[in-house]
Amino acid sequence: MPPPPDPRSDHELIAALNAGDAAAFDAIYYRYRDRILRLAYRFTANHADAQDVLQETFSYLYRKFPGFRLTASMTTFLYPVVRNLSLEIHRKKRTATTTNLDAVADLPGFDAGDQIDQTRADLAAAMSNLSPEHRQTVLLRFVDDLTMEEIAAAMAVPVGTVKSRLHHAIAALREDPRIRRYFAP
Amino acid sequence: MPQDPAQLDDLPDPLAEDMRQLYRADIQPSPAVDQAILNRARAHIAGRKRTLLLLRVAGAAAAVVLVTAALLPSLHSARRSARSPVARQVQASDINADGAVDIRDALALQRAIDAGRAAATHGDITGDGVIDKRDVDAIAMSAVRLDRGMPR
Report the pLDDT value the prediction gives residue A23, as an integer from 0 to 100: 87
CA angle at B135 for the pair B130 and B140, rounded to the nearest 5°: 170
If asked whether residues A114 and A91 sit together in one domain, one would say no
DSSP 8-state class, residue A185: -
B33 to chain A, any CB pair closer than 8 A? The answer is yes
If asked whether residues A134 and A162 sit together in one domain, one would say yes
A31 to chain B, any CB pair closer than 8 A? The answer is no
Total number of domains in chain A:
2
Give Cα separations from A89 to A105, A137, A157, B38, B120 (angstroms): 21, 21, 23, 22, 97
A95 to chain B, any CB pair closer than 8 A? The answer is no
Q: How many CB atoms lie within 10 A of CB A7?
A: 7
From CA A84, how far away is CA A82, in angstroms rounded?
6
% pLDDT > 90, chain A: 36
Closest-CA distance, B59 to chain A, in angstroms, reads 18
Nearest-Cα residue of chain B relative to residue A145: B20
Q: Are A83 and A157 in contact (CB under 8 A)?
A: no
If asked whether residues A92 and A20 sit together in one domain, one would say yes
Whether residue A2 is preceded by a cis peptide bond, meaning omega within 30 degrees of 0, is no
A26-64 pLDDT, tens digit per residue, is 999 999 998 899 888 888 888 888 999 999 999 999 988
If asked whether residues A81 and A114 sit together in one domain, one would say no
A68, A97, A126 - which closes a domain: A97
If asked whether residues A48 and A105 sit together in one domain, one would say no
Would the CB atoms of A55 and B24 count as touching at under 8 Å? no
Residues of B in contact with A50 (CB under 8 A): 27
If asked whether residues A16 and A81 sit together in one domain, one would say yes
If asked whether residues A1 and A84 sit together in one domain, one would say yes
Nearest-Cα residue of chain B relative to residue A35: B24
A51, A66, A97 - which closes a domain: A97
Closest-CA distance, A22 to chain B, in angstroms, reads 5
Q: What one-letter code names the amino acid at B29?
A: P
Below-50 pLDDT ranges, chain A? 96-115
From CA B35, how far away is CA B45, in angstroms rounded?
15
Would the CB atoms of A54 and B37 count as touching at under 8 Å? yes
If asked whether residues A38 and A127 sit together in one domain, one would say no
A80, A97, A114 - which closes a domain: A97
Phi, psi for B25 (deg, rounded to 5): -60, 130
Angle separating helix axes A132-142 and B13-23, nearest 10 degrees = 100
Break chain B into its structural domains and give their ranges.
Answer: 87-144
If asked whether residues A79 and A11 sit together in one domain, one would say yes
What's A141's domain CATH number? Answer: 1.10.10.10
If asked whether residues A135 and A124 sit together in one domain, one would say yes
Below-50 pLDDT ranges, chain B? 1-2, 5, 149-152
If asked whether residues A32 and A109 sit together in one domain, one would say no
Would the CB atoms of A38 and B22 count as touching at under 8 Å? no
HEC letters along A9-33 = CHHHHHHHHHCCCCHHHHHHHHHHH
Closest-CA distance, B68 to chain A, in angstroms, reads 32
Mean pLDDT score of chain A: 83
Side-chain-side CA neighbours of residue A185 (13 Å): 3
Query: ipTM of the assembly?
Result: 0.73
Domain that holds residue A54: 1-97
If asked whether residues A3 and A88 sit together in one domain, one would say yes
